DNA sequence: AAGGCGTCTTACAACGTTGTAGGCTCGGAG
DNA sequence: CTCCGAGCCTACAACGTTGTAAGACGCCTT
């Protein structure tokens, strides 16, 4: 059905290679020939078969992005930025969701034959751990996002979780809060965003001589809104006093605000709320959410440019790239408590 | 670098076709041969080259999904569902964002050589209009989502916008509201979600003998939160009385609730708010949002199965498939006003 | 013992593209 | 007039896979 180089070549009365040369702007083509070929291309509505081109060139012109779940605003916004950045470099993005498939699903993803369908992978694992570091030894360009694995054999982009969480906590302390609850901790976790942010929290407390109180820690495996609300209710039901909440991400924070309201606690009057991620919604929630912008836009852009460098053959030791963060001040936690 | 059928064949001492047969579960293979081949495959870590397979078979094993912007929750959740449904059928999804590229961007997308990289396209246009219907005559499986074009030459999935908007408006009327503002109308639009939902609104008013008041209509081109807030403020500043708001999507509703709060109006006490889309956030906003579930999950599943049917060669006239809707009652608009 | 048939395996071509090597034409220099 | 080289174009092979046609082998039937 679709026209091929052969069809165009026959119509234009030249060899297929000449047609190919016209398409690829090879310099030495007689203008009249070029014209004839272009006319034939237009007449047949020829477009190159990218699959064949891929086979020949070894490049697919696409990169894969693997995230846990696009329905999570953080990953959706990350994906939007990655797609935009890739497009600027002429690449398309296929998205894989690891969902609730767990560790095995993530490992399978790394070795799936589908990897051959893209030139590289930007991977944000959720379940893999340091023990799986060997699985990252793959023969295609791989850029790792997140905090599950360190010192791997690949380029790694991450945020300054400890420093950012510490800064967020100190912001709450500076605004006059002393009893700061946490929502979203993963119990027993050593690395991973939750553990690192928790560590930043503890460092901030310690630096200000505030004792750590385990009863202020609300655990939660997943980071959906519902989990934030549940975790917050748990803390409230313990009857322990608190005047601020640091939610380990924005989504949890929205759930937590919801639970606070149900309990008759006012934000920020009774309880200040700090999030983490600065998703779009944080600007428009009621109250709007004070949060940490962990440099998501930079991460997306850099992930794409980094994977492209590797695709183009850059041979350098694995790099660890850290995004800058910023506290975005909004209503849920004003700089100074009244 | 990577092993090919040739390498495996050489190691196992058979022809490449035999290896291919083993991989594709061709029945007549001697068990000993099969074993030897499988051992060779394991030893070399062979995985098939999907690009070559695509070239040979004409199938890429991937479908494309084109949406305006993944950062919009509705499309992110749609994409998540589409990817999950596609995966269940062994397909990957590449996502294209048309963003602010406008009509031309959408038309280009339909003819881009990239279309050859996937077996079909699920397309949710935002700018194309009925005049562009001819552009939908493409030679690959195309499933259209949304309300921009009707009676096109392709399968079309859409929601019952008029009926759903009418039901939503009647819900507000039944709960005792009479002055119902609209947020998100597109002025002068004839088809498209905005126009259809506005039409449903007018039908409901008319059916209940409530006069239409143009001063209650808040226009807005884009449907981000900020637009909802701006449009709502505009209506408030007109000084016209109203006791309910029908936002043409949830995101607008959140923006509108924000503006209402700033103006000292309580939801739902002073003003009831109705959204449209039932995005995840609607459950957890404060107050939670009464909204219309337009059947997004069904649309995603059906879009994938429909495009697959066409990929598999189904030859049938273009179909128009309508999703069922449902009013989801939450706090922002209780069934009965006090 | 020969023919036939079913089982297993192979060689070859093809999918549509691009790199390589080489051939033809024409103008200008020797 | 011949030779050379630049400019333009072509034939062929290759990327890695699978469909087709056919070959080799062994077993059963007659």
CB contact under 8 A, B71 and A92: no
3-state secondary structure of A309: helix
Q: How far is CA A153 from the centre of its chain?
A: 19
Nearest residue on chain A to B262, alpha-carbon basis: A286
Note the Cα A217 to chain centre separation in Å. 26
- Return all residues near A234 (Cβ < 8 A) that are at least 6 apart: A218
DSSP state of B281: G
In Å, what is the CA distance from B314 to each residue of A137, B137, B321? 43, 16, 16
Which residues in A lie closer than 8 A to residue B95 (C-beta atoms)?
79, 83, 93-95
Question: What's the token pair of residue A254?
Answer: 């929205």
- A264 to chain B: which residues are within 8 Å by CB? none
Q: Which residues of A touch B1 (CB under 8 A)?
A: 139
Give the neighbor-by-neighbor strand order of the sheet with A120-123: A320-323, A155-159, A142-145, A120-123, A62-67, A92-97, B92-97, B62-67, B120-123, B142-145, B155-159, B320-323
In three-state form (DSSP H/G/I as H, E/B as E, the rest C), the secondary structure along A268-304 is CCCCEEECCCCCHHHHCCCCCCEEEECCHHHHHHHHH
Query: Quick one: pLDDT at residue A338?
Result: 52
User: Is there a contact between A108 and A327 (Cβ–Cβ < 8 Å)?
Assistant: no
- Residue lying closest to nucleotide C20, CA to C1': A17
Give the C-alpha separation, B48 to B26, whole Å: 16
Q: What is the pLDDT of residues A129-170, one digit of tens each?
A: 889 999 999 989 999 998 888 888 999 999 999 999 999 999
Tokens 């076709």 appear where?
A: B17
Cβ pair B138, B110 in contact under 8 A: yes
**How does DSSP assign B3-31, residue by residue?**
--HHHHHHHHTS-HHHHHHHHTT-S---H
Band the pLDDT of B337: cuts 50, 70, 90.
low
> What's residue B338's pLDDT?
52
Interior/surface letters B126-165, b for 16+ CB within 10 angstroms, e for the rest = bbbeeebbebbeeebbbbbbbbbbeebebbbbbbbbbebb
Residue with tokens 């000993």: B32
* Interchain CB distance below 8 Å, A283 and B73: no
3-state secondary structure of B121: strand
What's the token pair of residue A142?
């791989």
Angle made by CA atoms A151, A133, A296, in degrees to the nearest 5: 60
Res. B132: pLDDT tops 80: yes
Mean pLDDT of the region B188-192: 75
Mean local confidence (pLDDT), B238-249: 96
* Inter-residue contact A72 to A80 (CB < 8 Å): no
Closest nt to residue A15, judged CA to C1':
D10
Please count the residue pairs, one from chain A and one from chain B, whose beta carbons lie less than 8 angstroms apart. Answer: 158
Q: CA–CA separation, B296 vs B80, rounded Å? A: 11
Does the structure show a pLDDT above 80 at B238? yes
Q: How far apart are CA B45 and CA B35, in angstroms?
A: 15
pLDDT at position A226: 81
Lowest mean pLDDT among A12-26, B80-94, B155-169: A12-26
Residue B317 to residue B139: CA distance in whole angstroms: 14
Closest-CA distance of chain B to residue A215, Å = 25
Contact B83, B67 (CB under 8 A): no
Q: Which two tokens stand for residue A199?
A: 């560590």
| Residue-level pLDDT at A19 | 92
What distance in Å separates residue B258's CA from the closest CA in chain A?
A: 6
Residues 6+ apart with CB under 8 A from A326: A292, A293, A295
Mean pLDDT of the B162-179 span? 97
Low-confidence ranges of chain A (pLDDT < 50): none
Query: Do strands A326-328 and A92-97 pair parallel, antiparallel, or not at all (unpaired)?
Result: unpaired
The per-residue pLDDT for B129 is 85
Say whether B70 and A87 touch across the interface (CB within 8 A). Answer: no
Q: Which pLDDT score, from 0 to 100, does residue A189 have? A: 75
CA A186, CA A70: separation in Å to the nearest integer?
Answer: 21
Q: What is the enclosing helix (H) or strand (E) of A105?
A: helix A102-111
| Sequence-ordered strand ranges (E) for chain A | 62-67, 92-97, 120-123, 142-145, 155-159, 180-185, 217-219, 244-247, 272-274, 291-293, 320-323, 326-328
User: Which pLDDT value is given to residue B284?
Assistant: 77
Nearest Cα of chain B lies from the Cα of A251 at a distance, in angstroms, of 9
A314 CA to C20 C1', in Å?
27
Q: Give the distance, in angstroms, between the CA of residue A159 and the centroid of all CA atoms in the same chain.
A: 10
Q: Protein contacts on strand C: list nucleotides below 7 Å from a Cβ.
A: 7-12, 14-20
Per DSSP, the residues of A145-175 read ESSS--S-SSEEEEE-HHHHHHHHHHHHHHT
Whether the Cβ atoms of residue B242 and residue B235 lie closer than 8 Å to each other: yes
pLDDT at B237: 96
Residue at the smallest CA–C1' distance to nucleotide C12: B17
Q: Give the integer Cα–Cα distance in Å for A178 and A242.
A: 8
CA of B41 to C1' of C4 (A): 37
- pLDDT band, very low/low/confident/very high, at B27 (cuts 50, 70, 90): confident
For residue B187, is pLDDT > 80?
Answer: no
Residue B115 DSSP label = G
Q: Is the CB of B107 under 7 A from strand D?
A: no
Which residues of chain A make contact with B315, given a CB cutoff of 8 A?
A: none
Q: Between B48, B257, B280, which is nearest A71 by CB? A: B280
Residue B191 scores a pLDDT above 80: no
CA of residue B178 relative to chain centroid, distance = 32
- pLDDT single digits (tens) B33-65: 889 899 999 999 998 999 999 999 989 999 999
Q: Is the CB of B258 under 7 A from strand D?
A: no
Q: Which nucleotide is nearest to B8 (CA to C1')?
A: D16
């Amino acid at each position: 059905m679709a026209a091929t180089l052969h069809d165009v070549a026959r119509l234009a009365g030249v060899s297929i290679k000449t047609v190919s040369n016209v398409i690829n702007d090879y310099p030495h083509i007689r203008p009249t020939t070029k014209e004839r070929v272009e006319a034939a291309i237009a007449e047949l509505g020829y477009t190159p078969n990218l699959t064949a081109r891929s086979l020949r060139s070894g490049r697919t012109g696409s990169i894969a992005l693997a995230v846990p779940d696009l329905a999570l605003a953080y990953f959706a916004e990350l994906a939007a930025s990655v797609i935009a950045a890739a497009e600027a470099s002429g690449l398309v993005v296929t998205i894989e969701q690891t969902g609730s498939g767990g560790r095995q699903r993530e490992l399978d993803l790394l070795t799936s034959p589908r990897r051959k369908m893209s030139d590289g992978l930007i991977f944000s694992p959720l379940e893999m751990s340091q023990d799986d570091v060997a699985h990252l030894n793959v023969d295609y360009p791989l850029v790792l996002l997140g905090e599950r694995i360190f010192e791997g054999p690949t380029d790694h982009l991450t945020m300054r979780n400890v420093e950012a969480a510490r800064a967020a906590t100190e912001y709450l302390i500076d605004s006059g809060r002393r009893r700061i609850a946490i929502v979203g901790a993963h119990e027993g976790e050593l690395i991973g965003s939750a553990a690192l942010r928790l560590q930043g929290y503890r460092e901030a407390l310690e630096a200000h001589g505030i004792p750590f109180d385990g009863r202020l820690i609300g655990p939660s495996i997943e980071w959906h809104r519902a989990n934030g609300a549940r975790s917050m209710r748990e803390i409230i039901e313990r009857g322990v006093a608190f005047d601020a909440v640091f939610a380990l991400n924005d989504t949890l924070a929205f759930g937590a605000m919801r639970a606070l309201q149900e309990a008759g606690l006012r934000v920020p009057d009774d309880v200040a709320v700090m999030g983490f991620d600065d998703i779009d919604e944080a600007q428009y929630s009621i109250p709007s959410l004070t949060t940490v912008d962990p440099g998501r836009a930079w991460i997306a852009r850099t992930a794409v440019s980094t994977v492209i460098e590797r695709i183009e053959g850059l041979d350098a030791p694995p790099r660890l790239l850290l995004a800058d963060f910023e506290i975005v001040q909004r209503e849920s936690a004003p700089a100074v408590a009244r």
